[in-house]
C-alpha cells in the first residue's frame, strides 16, 4: 500500500512538473510595444467641434450572463453554461452595439475559439456583423490550458481587446502594462495591455484613444498601482503634445464620484473592489460616466436583483480639450455580461 501511495505521489508530481514545463515553454510573452493591423480602415477624418459617440463594454467573453458566477470572485464556475447560451449572449451584445450607432467602440474580453466560450470566434462574428468600422484587436490573454476550477477548468484561452472606429486610424499599438504575478501563477494569468489608437483630426492634431482592461485580483494592489502610473504618464504626455485624449474601458477600480452603497445589495463589499486613488486623475482631466447606472456586478453568485454587489468601474477619462456633450449608462440587467456598457457623446475643441 505504501508503495502504491508513493507511486501515486510521484506520478502526480511528474504530471504537475510536465504541465508547468509545457506552460513555461509556451508562455505568451508579448513585446512591450506591438504595431497592430487596422482592418477595413475608414477614410473619414475626425473633425473638431463635431459630435461623435463612444461606447465601452466589457462583454465578459459572452459567457458571464446573468445566470453565471465566477470562481475568482467566490463562485464556482469559469465557463459559459452552453454553446447555445454563448451564441445568444454574443448575438444580443452585437445587437446592442449595432443599435447604439456609436462612432468608436472599445470592448474587453473578446474571445477567439476559447474553451470557456465553446470555441466560438467572437472576434470574427463581431467584425462581420458590425458594418462600417475599422477594427483593431490585441491579445491580452493567451494560455494553452488554465487548470482551474478543477472540476470544470477554464481550459484553452485566447482573448483580448477590440476597438472599432468609423474614422481613419493613423496607427494602432498594443502596449504591455507593467506588473506580473509571481511564477507559476502568471503562467495562467492575463498579460494586461492597452490599445492605443491614433486618429488624425482635421487641423493637424490627433485623438489618442486608449482601450484598457486593468488588473482586478492582484494581492496588495501592487500591480494596479504600476498600471495606473503607466497610464497616467501616457495620458499626460499626449495632452502636453497638444493632442486630444480619451481613455476608456474596464478600470477595475471604483471610479471617482461614484458610491456602490447607492445600489441595493445584501452582499459585503468584495475584496477586488478598490476606489481609484484620489491622486490619479490628472489636473483638468474629467471623468465621463453615468453615476446612476452600475457597470459591474459581483459574480460570487448568479445575478439576483437587490443581492449582488454593484459598482461603477467602467467609463471614460478625457483630457481638458475633449468636451462632454452627453452621457449614458445602459442598464441591461447584466443579462448577457457581468458588465453594463457606458456611452458618451463628445466633441473636440
Contacts of range 259-263, beta carbons closer than 8 Å, 24 or more positions apart: 260/294, 260/309, 260/310, 260/311, 260/312, 262/291, 263/294, 263/310, 263/311
Res 19: pLDDT:
81
Question: Is-contact 249 217, C-beta < 8 A?
Answer: no
Q: What are the backbone dihedrals phi and psi of residue 20, each rounded to the nearest 5 degrees, phi first? A: -65, -35
Q: What are the backbone dihedrals phi and psi of residue 180, each rounded to the nearest 5 degrees, phi first? A: -135, 150
User: Does residue 46 share a domain with residue 25?
Assistant: no
Separation CA 65–CA 44 (nearest Å):
36
User: Does residue 67 share a domain with residue 7?
Assistant: no
Separation CA 323–CA 196 (nearest Å):
20
How far is CA 86 from each of CA 4, 117, 147, 281, rounded to the nearest angstrom? 43, 6, 21, 37
What's the total number of domains in the chain? 2
Instruction: Give the CATH number of the domain where residue 119 resides.
Output: 3.60.10.10
Separation CA 96–CA 331 (nearest Å):
12
Res 234: pLDDT:
98
User: Does residue 261 share a domain with residue 237?
Assistant: yes
User: Does residue 21 share a domain with residue 155?
Assistant: no
Res 184: pLDDT:
82
CA 299 to chain CA centroid, Å, is 16
User: Does residue 42 share a domain with residue 14?
Assistant: no
User: Does residue 91 share a domain with residue 16?
Assistant: no
Res 111: pLDDT:
98
The runs of H, that is alpha helices, within the chain are 2-25, 83-100, 122-129, 222-240
Res 17: pLDDT:
77
Res 8: pLDDT:
55
Question: Is-contact 110 161, C-beta < 8 A?
Answer: yes
Question: Is-contact 24 77, C-beta < 8 A?
Answer: no
Separation CA 299–CA 69 (nearest Å):
5
Res 95: pLDDT:
98
> To which H or E segment does residue 296 belong?
strand 296-297
User: Does residue 199 share a domain with residue 91?
Assistant: yes
Eight-state DSSP code of residue 262: G
User: Does residue 163 share a domain with residue 153?
Assistant: yes
User: Does residue 102 share a domain with residue 9?
Assistant: no
Res 171: pLDDT:
98
Res 22: pLDDT:
85
* Residue in this structure with the C-alpha cell 466633441, named with its chain if needed: 347
**pTM of structure:** 0.97
User: Does residue 24 share a domain with residue 125?
Assistant: no
User: Does residue 175 share a domain with residue 305?
Assistant: yes
Res 263: pLDDT:
98
Res 73: pLDDT:
95
Paired strand residues for 323 = 347
Alpha-carbon dihedral sign for residues 36, 58, 332, 120: positive
pLDDT tens track for 57-109: 999 999 999 999 999 999 999 999 999 999 999 999 999 999 999 999 999 99
Eight-state DSSP code of residue 45: P
CB atoms within 10 A of CB 50: 11
Eight-state DSSP code of residue 112: B
Res 62: pLDDT:
98
SS3 call for 348: strand
Res 6: pLDDT:
53
User: Does residue 268 share a domain with residue 209?
Assistant: yes
Separation CA 117–CA 208 (nearest Å):
32
Question: Cell numbers of 338, please?
Answer: 457581468
- In which domain, by residue range, is 3 found? 1-30
SS3 call for 162: strand
Separation CA 246–CA 348 (nearest Å):
11
pLDDT along the chain (349 residues), means of 10: 60 72 89 98 97 98 98 96 98 98 98 98 98 97 95 96 98 96 87 98 96 91 96 98 98 98 96 95 97 98 98 98 98 98 98
Amino acid at each position: 500500500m505504501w508503495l502504491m501511495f508513493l507511486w501515486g505521489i510521484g506520478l502526480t508530481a511528474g504530471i504537475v512538473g510536465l504541465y508547468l514545463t509545457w506552460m513555461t515553454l509556451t508562455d505568451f510573452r508579448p513585446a512591450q510595444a506591438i504595431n497592430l493591423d487596422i482592418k477595413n480602415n475608414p477614410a473619414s477624418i475626425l473633425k473638431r467641434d463635431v459630435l461623435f459617440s463612444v461606447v465601452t463594454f466589457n462583454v465578459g467573453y459572452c459567457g458571464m450572463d446573468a445566470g453565471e458566477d465566477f470562481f475568482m470572485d467566490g463562485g464556482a464556475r469559469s465557463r459559459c453554461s452552453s454553446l447555445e447560451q454563448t451564441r445568444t449572449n454574443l448575438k444580443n451584445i452585437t445587437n446592442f452595439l449595432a443599435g447604439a450607432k456609436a462612432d468608436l467602440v472599445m470592448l474587453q474580453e473578446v474571445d477567439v475559439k476559447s474553451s470557456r466560450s465553446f470555441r466560438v470566434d467572437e472576434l470574427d462574428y463581431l467584425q462581420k456583423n458590425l458594418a462600417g468600422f475599422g477594427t483593431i484587436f490585441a491579445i491580452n490573454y493567451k494560455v494553452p490550458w488554465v487548470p482551474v476550477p478543477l472540476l470544470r477548468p477554464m481550459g484553452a484561452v485566447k482573448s483580448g481587446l477590440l476597438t472599432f472606429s468609423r474614422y481613419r486610424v493613423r496607427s494602432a499599438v498594443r502596449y504591455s502594462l507593467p506588473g506580473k504575478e509571481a511564477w507559476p501563477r502568471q503562467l495562467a494569468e492575463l498579460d494586461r495591455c492597452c490599445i492605443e489608437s491614433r486618429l488624425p483630426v482635421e487641423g493637424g492634431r490627433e485623438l489618442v484613444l486608449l482601450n484598457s482592461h486593468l488588473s482586478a485580483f492582484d494581492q496588495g494592489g501592487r500591480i494596479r498601482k504600476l498600471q495606473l502610473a503607466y497610464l497616467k504618464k501616457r495620458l499626460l504626455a499626449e495632452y502636453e503634445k497638444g493632442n486630444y485624449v480619451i481613455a476608456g474601458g474596464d478600470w477595475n477600480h471604483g471610479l471617482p464620484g461614484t458610491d456602490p452603497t447607492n445600489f441595493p445589495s445584501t452582499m459585503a463589499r468584495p475584496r477586488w473592489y478598490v476606489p481609484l486613488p484620489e491622486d490619479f486623475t490628472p489636473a483638468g482631466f474629467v471623468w465621463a460616466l453615468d453615476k446612476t447606472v452600475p457597470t459591474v456586478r459581483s459574480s460570487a453568485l448568479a445575478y439576483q436583483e437587490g443581492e449582488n454587489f454593484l459598482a461603477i468601474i467602467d467609463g471614460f477619462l478625457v483630457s481638458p480639450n475633449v468636451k462632454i456633450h452627453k452621457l449614458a449608462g445602459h442598464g441591461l440587467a447584466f443579462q448577457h455580461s457581468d458588465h453594463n456598457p457606458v456611452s458618451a457623446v463628445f466633441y473636440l475643441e
